[in-house]
Homo-oligomer: A and B are copies of this chain.
Amino acid sequence: MSSPKFSEIDQKAVDTIRVLAADVVGKANSGHPGAPMGLAPLAHVLWQYVMKFNPKNPYWFNRDRFVLSNGHACALQYIMLHLYGYDITMDDLQHFRQFNSNTPGHPERELPGIEVTTGPLGQGIVNAVGLAIAEKQIATNFNRPEHEVVSAHTYCILGDGCLMEGVSHEGLALAGHLKLGKLIAFYDDNHISIDGDTNLAFTENTEERLKAYGWHVQHVKDGNNDMAGIFEAIENAKKVTDQPSFIRVTTTIGYGSVNAGTHGVHGSPLKPDDMAHLKKEWGFEPDQYFVIPSEVSSQAFTKGAQGAELERAWDEEVRHYKEKYQKEAEELIRRARRKLPEGWEKALPTYSPSDPAVASRKLSETVLTKIESALPELVSGSADLTGSNLTIWKGAVSFQPPETKLGDYAGRYLHYGVREHGMVAIMNGIDAFGGLIPVGGTFLNFVSYASGAMRLAGLSGHRTIVLATHDSIGLGEDGPTHQPIETLAHFRATPNVMVWRPADGNEVSAAYKVAIESLETPTIMALSRQNLPQLEGSSIEKAVKGGYVLNESVENPQVIIASTGSEVGISVDAAKLLEKDGIRVRVVSMPEFYTFDGQSEEYKLSVFPDGVPVLSVEVMSAFGWSKYAHESFAIDHFGASGKYTDLYKAFDFTPEGVAKRAKATLDFYQGKNPLSRIHTAFPHLVQRGPGPYHTK
C-alpha cells in the first residue's frame, strides 16, 4: 500500500482522540490520560490505515489482532473501538471505570474488540507473541498455494513498564528466536513512568536489546506528529517477514497538556484550565465535552464499515478453498468455532487395578500420545523440561523456523526455553487466537514463576493447560527449592482456575477430559515423578466430579480420609490397616476442589456426611483443606533433599503414619458428632467461569 496523504481530517482525528481521552479520564476523575494523548497519532494510523477488522463481528477469525500491553492507556482503546463502530457507546465512554460499565479500568477480554485482558505490565506483549505463534502455526497448516485463508498480523503497543518486566524479556527473546514476521510491536517511548523520568531506573539501550533478540528495529522520532513516518515504518515492518518488528515511537506523554512530558499526566486527570487550554488550541469548544467532529466520525465509520466487506470476501475465499480442500476447510471452521471433534474423548485410556503402577507424569504422556491425533488443535510444549515433564509425543514436530532444521512452522511442540512466566502468557495468547489448545509443562513449584499469567488465564477465561510435574516432595533429591508446599493452595484460592491432582490413570484421563472441555477455565495438572498404583474404585465418570468416594463398599464409615494424587494410594493402604482393627474407613479422592465445589450440595454431603470426622492427607500445606476436613495431615514446612522414599518416611507419610492420624481423628471426635463442613450458614458466591464481578 502506498502511503496515504495525511490530511487535515487525519490531524483532526488525532486531536479528537486526545481531547476525548482527556474528557474520558476527566469525567471519571480516574485513569491515565497521558499515554492515550501521546499515542493518538499511532492509534489513528493503525485503525484508519493499517488494521483489518470488522467492528460488527469482533470475532472474525481472519482479523488482525491488536493488544494494548500498557493496558492503563485503555481510554485510548475504548475511544478507538467507539469511533470505529464496535459496541462501545458514548455512554460507555462517559462511564469510564465505573462499576458495571463496559469501560473498566483496564481492558478486559469479554468486551468487543479486546483480544486479551491487559494491565499487569508485560503480559500483553507476551500474549501478542502467543497470538503470532498461533497465526503462524494455523496459517502454515491450512494455507495452500493460491489459497491464503489465514493471514493476520498482530500489532501490540507496549510501554516502558512492559519492557522492564521480566516476562516481556522471556516473550520478546522467544519471538526473536522464532522469527515471527507478522508480529509488529510499537514501543511508546515517552521517557516517563510513575516514579518520574525513566532515567531513574530504566536506561538500557532498548533498540540494541531488541536487536540482540533478533528483532527488526526502527525508530520514529516524532511520534507526536509524524503519521507518515509511522505508516512508513509499519510498511517496512510488514516487508520484513523473517523477523518480528519493533518500532520505537518517541512520544510526549500528555501531548498538548501544560504538563506534557511529566509523570503529572500519567495517572491523574488534567486540570480544568489545562483541558480548556488544550481544547482551544485544537479548535474545540472549551466548555463542550465528548465532542466528535462529524468529519472524524464519518472517516472512521467508513473504514469500520469496510470490515464487513473484508469478512464477506474472506468467506468467499474460504468457500473456494473448501471446494478444493474440503476436509481442511471443515477442520478450520470447526476449530475457529472452538468445537471439539465428536468423540475425541473415546481416545482417553482407562485402567483397572491390575494395571501396573505408573508415575502420573507418565500417564499424562500416554494420554497425550493417545489423544494427539484425535485433537490436532493440541499444541504441547515445555519450559525446557521436556524429558522430565513428558509433554512430547513420538513424532511431534518442533515449532521452529524451518531454516533451523530443528522443526517447522507446522510443528505442534513448543520449546519455550526456561521461561515459565513467558510460556503461560504465550499460551494465553495462543488460546486467545482460537483454533489451538495450548498445553505446556514445568515443575509444579515453578508454576509460581508464572503466577501473573495464570491469574489472568483465570480472569480472562483461557483454556491454558499447565502440566505441572514433580508435584511434591516426591521429586526427591532436588530438595526444598524445587518442592512445592504452598503451590496448590495458591491456585486453589484463585477464582476460575482448576488445580487437578490425579491419583491414578483414570483420574489423569478425567483431568484431561474436563480440562479440554472447559473452554473458559485454565488448568494446572499436578503430576507425580514417582509411580502410583491404579486404584480400585476410580473411574473417569466419578473423577470428573472433582471428588468422590473411592471405596463405596464401606458402609457407615467411622472416619473419612480425603486425599489427592500420590497420597490416595497411601490412604487406601492406611484404611486397610485400620480395617484390621475393625475401623470402617471411607477414602475420598479429591482431585479438583473447584470442580467438586460446583457439584450439588446433596452430592457433596453424600461424600462428606454429617457425623463422620474427615482427615485430609496431602504432602503439602494444610492451608484450605479445613473447608472439607476436620483434621489435616500435611507438611506446613519446607521439604528436604533426599530420596523420595526417605522423605515420605521421615515425614511419616506412610500407611502407618496416616492410619495413626486417622485413629487420632476418630478418637478425638468420638461422641462429638461433627457436622459436615459442606454446610454453610448463608449462601456463598463462588465464581464459575471467567470475568470480573458483575451485578447487571
Contact = CB atoms under 8 A, between A and B. Distances in A.
On chain A, which size bracket covers the interface?
Answer: 35 or more
A99 B650 contact: yes
A681 B668 contact: yes
Contacts of A348: none
B694 A665 contact: no
Contacts of A553: none
Contacts of A477: 28, 30-31, 97-98, 105
Contacts of A118: 481
Nearest to A687: B637
A418 to B, nearest CB: 4
Interface string A199-222: 111111111110111100000000
A170 to B, nearest CB: 5
Given A173-B204, A204-B177, A692-B479, A687 B636 contact: yes
A659 to B, nearest CB: 12
A386 to B, nearest CB: 5
Contacts of A493: 485-486, 489-490, 621, 623-624
A609 B636 CA distance: 24
A165 B165 CA distance: 11
A199 B681 contact: no
A644 B51 CA distance: 37
Interface stretch (A273-281, A339-347, A356-364, A445-453): A445-453
A324 interface: no
Find the residue from A173, A479, A492 having the highest chain B CB count within 10 A.
A479
Contacts of A451: 448-449, 451, 490
A144 interface: no
Contacts of A486: 455, 490-491, 493-495
Contact of A164 (B170, B452, B479): B170
A188 interface: no
Given A419-B165, A422-B166, A631-B681, A489 B693 contact: no
A627 interface: yes
Nearest to A126: B166
A610 to B, nearest CB: 11
Contacts of A104: 479-480, 640-641
A511 B667 CA distance: 39
A647 B492 contact: no
A685 B385 CA distance: 33
A215 B276 CA distance: 47
Contacts of A161: 384, 418
A212 B209 CA distance: 5
Find the residue from A212, A458, A480, A647 having the highest chain B CB count within 10 A.
A480
Contacts of A626: 624, 626-627, 677
Interface in A412-457: 415-419, 421-422, 445-446, 448-449, 451-452, 455-456
B214 A204 contact: yes
Interface in A663-696: 664-665, 667-669, 672, 674-675, 677, 679-682, 684-687, 691-695
Nearest to A268: B387
Contacts of A552: none
A193 interface: yes
Interface in A113-167: 117-122, 160-162, 164-167
Interface in A485-521: 485-486, 489-496
Nearest to A685: B637
Nearest to A401: B203
A508 B626 CA distance: 29
A661 interface: yes
Contact of A201 (B122, B209, B384, B682): B384
Nearest to A666: B681
A246 to B, nearest CB: 13
Given A492-B623, A495-B486, A174 B194 contact: no
**Which A-B residue pairs are the 7 nearest by beta carbons?**
A166-B166, A99-B642, A637-B687, A169-B169, A104-B641, A201-B417, A668-B681
6 contacts: A177-B202, A451-B451, A459-B480, A459-B481, A485-B493, A489-B489
Given A106-B481, A624-B624, 16 more contacts: A105-B482, A119-B482, A166-B419, A195-B382, A205-B211, A206-B212, A485-B493, A486-B495, A490-B490, A494-B621, A626-B626, A626-B627, A636-B687, A638-B692, A665-B681, A668-B682
